[in-house]
Amino acid sequence: MKVTVLVDNNTYIDRYFIGEPGVSYFIEDKGINILFDVGYSDVFIKNAQKMNVDMKNIDFVVISHGHNDHTGGLIPLTSLYTEAKTEKKSCKKPSLIAHPSAFLMKTFEEEEIGSILSEERLKRYFHMKLSKEPLWLTENLVFLGKIERKNDFENKVPIGKVEDQGKMVDDYVIDDSALVYKSKQGLVIITGCSHAGICNIIEYAKKVCKDERIIDVIGGFHLLNPSKEQLEGTVNYMKTINAKKVYACHCTDLDSKIALAKELNLKEVGVGLALEYE
């Protein structure tokens, strides 16, 4: 499997790509092409073009959760598909994988922060596969579905409001999910924002994949000015998993990265980063 970063807050020096506060990864596994999140805009498409990644040859589009920095790119992506159809260019109709609540209305301080495209609109462009249960996309790559939340230090504060049966209620981002690759050496965890809690995600990944070995973790950890309890709990937990490398990015602030780097083999992340696993 190969993971290439199409969008992150940061870019590498001397790599002439574009960054934005969002996430998008291109994943290749035994001939299957997966787009995991689509960032905030069309930046992922522009970067993909520079990397010779064909957005018209995608088998799965996976959405980690419904916030606009992970779903905004669906608008330019569907425009690209419409243009390809009009010009009679070859273009796959991917399956879109997400939690069933991913496309509900989400707000923060009265402003919409969820997907602009609704589930109904998306059905025109994708085979919709919304699931709370784990879904295996390839023999070794799984979408986790609804993450079990068992520890007492993560996901304690709601992020805005979400629509629930016609009412707006506190949003604990129950739609937040992740991907896991089951390699020969152990598990590779790939996250969007980790609103469910990076530690909860890893624990659930081990349960779903029936493997306690963690070799790599990449993605946002949602450690943005975290409480002392959350940061200490996360660092202490991450020390126990003995991951060979950790790539904390996107929504992980500098203080949190410093705290993690004191205890873990923390690596830099930027657009253009490519990681390969057996």
* Residue ranges making up the domain that contains 216: 2-276
The total of structural domains in the chain comes to 1
pLDDT of residue 15: 83
Mean pLDDT of all residues in 86-101: 97
Q: What is the pLDDT of residues 132-157, one digit of tens each?
A: 999 999 999 999 999 999 999 999 99
Pick the closest to residue 55 from 43, 64, 63, 66 (CA basis).
43
Checking if the pLDDT of 14 tops 90, the result is no
191, 217 contact by CB (below 8 A):
yes
Q: What is the pLDDT of residues 151-202, one digit of tens each?
A: 999 999 999 999 998 899 999 999 999 999 999 999 999 999 999 999 999 9
| Largest separation between any pair of C-alpha atoms in the chain | 55
Mean pLDDT (the chain) is: 97
What the block records as the tokens of 168 is: 């707006």
Distance of alpha carbon 154 from alpha carbon 170, whole angstroms? 16
Mean pLDDT of all residues in 9-14: 90
Model-wide pTM > 0.95 = yes
Checking if the pLDDT of 13 tops 90, the result is no
Distance of alpha carbon 77 from alpha carbon 56, whole angstroms? 9
Checking if the pLDDT of 278 tops 90, the result is no
The CATH number given to whatever domain includes residue 233 is 3.60.15.10
pLDDT of residue 117: 97
The backbone torsions φ and ψ at residue 259, rounded to the nearest 5 degrees and listed phi first, read: -60, -40
Q: What is the pLDDT of residues 30-89, one digit of tens each?
A: 999 999 999 999 999 999 999 999 999 999 999 999 999 999 999 999 999 999 999 999
Q: What is the pLDDT of residues 210-240, one digit of tens each?
A: 999 999 999 999 999 999 999 999 999 999 9
What the block records as the tokens of 192 is: 């969007």
pLDDT of residue 216: 97
Q: What is the pLDDT of residues 98-123, one digit of tens each?
A: 999 999 999 999 899 999 999 999 99
